[in-house]
Structure 1
Amino acid sequence: MKPVIALTKGRLEKQFTEFLKSNGYDVAPLLDKGRRLQVETDDFFAVFAKGIDVTTYVEYGIADLGIVGADILLEVQPDVFDLLPLPFGKCRFAVAGLPTSEVRGGKQRIATKYPNIATKYFREQGKSIDIVKLEGSVELAPLLGLADDIVDIVETGSTLKENGLIVKEEMFSLSARCIANRNSLKLKKSILAPIIDSFRMEEVAR
């Protein structure tokens, strides 16, 4: 029996494939998958989904392990076991906005895809804010006056710069995470342990 690993489609999928390759795994099936949403390798079955859905597949035991961004774990807080950080998908949360923006009375209005993370961060600072939940490019909100500032993931900062925004506060750093179904860790320990240990050894090596 092979374990099932749910992978976040897109950038994390590609970075995880490179991570596996550097760790001695045969990644040819992952590279040649075309439009298929599930692939079998010599070591595991892989399924490909959006990040938020990866946590759902793992939580319900469809997948034993999952590769997902820490931002989703912090925002959604799914009932999964957060095993370990991985040495890719590194970025940071930040508060950003126009250099000239300032809150003139009332609550600061924050546009974000991550209302839970933003609310918790400002609450810990003793601040009360109004949240505007957006799903698309949050950088647009301060440009059009919808919000004073934004809370979002920043990698290179190029998108902010191109839209005339700056980082005002660094919040915290994060990376990709390996998560596990709680029951799988107990019932499939013998087949999951070698894979999990190889991830840990690679992390230590780096």
Structure 2
Amino acid sequence: MQKTGFKIVVMVLLVGLIATLAYILVKGPEKKIGVLKKAPDFTLENLDGKTVTLADTAGKAKLVYFYFSYCPDVCPPTTYNLSKIQDALVKKGVFGTKTALLSITFDPTRDTPERLKEFSSRFHPDYKGWYFLRGDEAYTADLAKKFDVLVARDPKTGNFTHTNLFLLVDGKGDVRTYYSGNDENIDIERIANDLIQVSKES
């Protein structure tokens, strides 16, 4: 009986080991995300008029997204995807503590704090970890350019043409990678895991 029990235990352990190895082979090794460049520091205001700098999010991996709330096409669905990333990070217990989202408008004239509160409320944000920021228009456009996001205002409509992407910045202030906001097959779980992976390095 003892030998039979021992054999069963060994078989269970072997099955578990084989399953683990198979999972690793299918998933593949975790790829290290390199450093692209140093992120520029900034001084902006949140929805309550309080100053927020990049240094205020030190130690947290974050996504930085430039947008404007009156955007007729790409900004709302991209912000929706950011809300899904937020939800994934909340479930993993790291949102607001180890990870964050920074949405920066380049249309401060129309994107008043009241307007941004209304816009952001559509995406059930947790403001402890999701910062909606604004500043001087020229300053913000220059900041976007430093993040490699191109912005151009149409003088006729007042709307903007812009590069629709968001960037992953680590807790040390380095830009690690970027994601296209236009990707119809965006992998929410992968991006959330990228943030978690990078947050562990801070």
TM-score for both structures, normalised by structure 1 = 0.22
TM-score for both structures, normalised by structure 2 = 0.22
Bigger radius of gyration, 1 or 2?
2
Larger proportion of strand: 1
